[in-house]
Structures are given as structure tokens and as C-alpha cells.
Amino acid sequence: MSEEASIPQPDFGPSRLGTKDYWDKVYNREVDNYKDHGDIGEIWFGEDSAMKMVDWVEEHYEDIKETCPVLDLGCGNGHLLLDLAELGFKDLTGIDYSPAAIQLARAVATDKELDHVIKYEAVDFLAEKETLEWRTQQAAAATTSSTEQAEPKKFMVLLDKGTYDAISLHQKNKRDAAISAETTAEGVGEEDETKPKDDIVLAENDDNMEELADRYPKRVASMMHDDGCLLITSCNWTQAELIQRFANVFEYDSHIKYPTFTFGGVKGQTISSVIFKKKANVA
């Protein structure tokens, strides 16, 4: 069996939730709501799953919380880092490709007087050059030596609550790209207004049209300390599927338990939270 064939493919189609345009509009509305009502917006998957993630980080990194670099991938309104800041973590960074999300997260952190320990930046971490430049800037800002060449910053804990789900909903592969290109060139058919427009520019305009979800594991691993961890929470992928999809780069470490249900004789969870460690041979 080929390596590609062994990786489970999504059984769901593209969605507007996989587009940057959708999230920009969502967070622009939530910025206005926050200004008007002080509401920070929706907490995806609910407060229980968010607290389970925060509790896990506190339990495993309590002893180094003041120096432990934490990165929230697709931070949205920043609520995970707010909770960690209140627990005493001091090296917290949130990134999101939506500038409106960063605007909201910064406003909330400032109002809670936590902006001195949390940095929020508009970064598309699937774009390698953009992310590398940003990480280098982060490291340079932290060094006191004017002659020392700063290495790109790496993080001990990386958090993902729903970001990989959203990325997975933007399906973009070679076959789909070829069909789209042929249709555009030939002018076949009229535009279907009911379908979401593909408004994500692939990182660095890759010619191979690699699916964004397939790029995720290596991009995340490149930002992680060798002994760091990725804690990812998903409602689209099961624990087994996440382990298989990340197997080339990450090793399964553990998972967070949620209430289970049984359907058709099969026991399962509506949410999966999995902790991964980077494989030793991964840069």
C-alpha cells in the first residue's frame, strides 16, 4: 500500500468555513459586537473543550509556565491564551490569517490587561516564507545581542482548536484545480452563485496545488521544539484519523477524554483532542 493511499481522506466536501473571506466577515462582525456589547464572540466546541485544553497545558507545564513558549494556531478571539495568561503563563503567542481576528484578540487582551504577556499576529502559517520571517523577527526581538544571528523562534506547546478542521474544508488538489482551469478557459457554464468562491491564495502560489491540509503537519512541526507537543482538538476528524494523517511527522502521545456515545454498536466521541510529539527525524 502506498503512503498516500494509507492516509485517510475527508468524507466531507468543501465549505465556506474553509475560506479566508468567511472568517474575515465573521470576525469583522465580532469586532463590532465586542465594541458594542463587550462580547468576545463564540467559543468553538464550547467552553468545556477549551477548559480541557487549558487544564492539560497547566498540568503538564506548570513548572515552567513563566518561560514556556505557547503558540495558538488560528487563535480567533484568543480565549485559550487569555485563560493561560490568567494561570501565570507569560510567553504566549496567537496567530491567525484573519486580521480582523487579531484585531479582536488584541482588543480583548488589552481590556483584560493581559497584552503584556500575549502577542497576537496576523500570520498564515501555511505560507513557509511568511512564517519563517515572522518567527525570525520574534526571536530577534527577544535577544539582547546586536551581533547574534537570531534563529527562528520555536515553541514548546502548540494549540489548535478547530483550525485544522477549517483548513480541511478548503479542498484544493491537482484534479480539482485542473478541472477548474479548463472550465475557466473554455467559458463552460455560468457561475453557480450557491457555491462558495475559492478565495484562498495558496501559500507562495505553489504550482503543485498541494492541499492545504496536507501541508499542515510539516509546517507545524517546523515551529516546534524537538521535545514540544501539539495539542489539536477536532470535530471533523476522529482520533484514529488524526493519528494516521499526521503519522509521517508526529507520534501519538496521548489524548483528552470526553463523554462517549454509542451508535450502531460503535462507541465514539463528538470531539477528539489528541496530543502529538514530533518524530526525531523531522526538522
Q: For residue range 233-282, list pLDDT tens digits in order.
A: 998 899 999 999 999 999 999 999 887 655 555 555 678 999 999 998 88
Query: What's the pLDDT band for 141 if we cut at 50, 70, 90?
Result: confident
The reply to whether 190 falls in a domain is: no
Is the pLDDT at 34 greater than 70? The verdict is yes
The reply to whether 192 falls in a domain is: no
Number of structural domains the chain divides into: 1
Helix/strand/coil percentages in the chain, nearest 5: 40, 20, 40
Does residue 193 contact residue 107 with C-beta atoms inside 8 Å? no
- Domain encompassing residue 210: 3-171+201-278
More confident residue, 259 or 86: 86
Write the DSSP symbol of residue 21: H
The reply to whether 241 falls in a domain is: yes
More confident residue, 245 or 197: 245
pTM: predicted TM-score of the whole model, two decimal places: 0.79
pLDDT in tens, 151-196: 899 999 999 999 999 888 875 544 454 444 444 344 434 444 443 3
The reply to whether 68 falls in a domain is: yes
169 half-sphere exposure, CB direction, 13 A CA radius: 19
Residue 242: in which H helix or E strand, if any? Answer: helix 239-245
The reply to whether 195 falls in a domain is: no
Q: Give me the CATH number covering residue 239.
A: 3.40.50.150
Query: What's the pLDDT band for 63 if we cut at 50, 70, 90?
Result: very high
Of 77, 246, 53, nearest in space to 164 by CA: 246
Does residue 202 contact residue 212 with C-beta atoms inside 8 Å? yes
The reply to whether 235 falls in a domain is: yes
pLDDT at res. 201? 41
Query: What's the pLDDT band for 102 if we cut at 50, 70, 90?
Result: very high
The reply to whether 268 falls in a domain is: yes
Our CA angle for 51, 56, 62, nearest 5°, is: 115
The reply to whether 196 falls in a domain is: no
